[in-house]
Structure 1
Amino acid sequence: MTALLRASAVTPTVASVAVRPRSLVVLAGLPGAGKTTLLGRLDAAEPVTVLDSDQVREWIQARISLPYRTYRLFVHLAHRFRVLWHALFSPGLLVVHEPSTRQGTRAMLLVMALLSGRPRHFLWLDASAAEALDGQIARHRMIRAHSFERHVRRADVMRDQFEAGWKPFGWPAVTVLTRAGTSGGLRLTV
Structure 2
Amino acid sequence: MTAVAVGPRSLVVLAGLPGAGKTTLLAAADTGGAPAVVLDSDQVRARLVALFPKAVPYRFYRPLVHLVHRGRIFWYAITASRSLLLVHEPSTRPTTRAGLVAVGLLTRRPRHFVWLDASPEEALAGQVERGRLLNSRSFTRHVRRAARLRARFTSGPPPRGWQGLSVLTRRDRLRLSVAEG
> What's the TM-score, normalizing by structure 1?
0.89
Aligned to 1:48: 36
Distance 2:68 2:115 in 1: 23
2:77 and 2:103 in contact (8 A); partners too: yes
Distance 2:48 2:170 in 1: 30
Match of 2:113 among 122, 128, 133: 122
Q: Any gaps of 5 or more consecutive residues in structure 1? A: 1-13
The within-5 A match list for 1:137-176 is 137-176=128-167
Aligned residues: 174
Q: CA deviation at 1:166?
A: 3.6
Runs of 4+ in 1 over 6 A off after TM superposition: none
Quick check: 1:76 aligned with 2:34?
no
Aligned to 2:52: 64
Match of 1:86 among 56, 69, 76: 76
Aligned to 2:88: 97
Aligned to 1:178: 169
Distance 1:70 1:163 in 2: 36
Aligned to 2:7: 20
Distance 1:119 1:135 in 2: 30
2:154 and 2:167 in contact (8 A); partners too: no
Q: What whole-Å deviation, never above 9, does each CA across 1:83-108 have from its counterpart, x for those lacking one?
A: 00000111310010000011000000
* 1:147 alignment partner AA: S
Q: CA RMSD in A?
A: 0.9
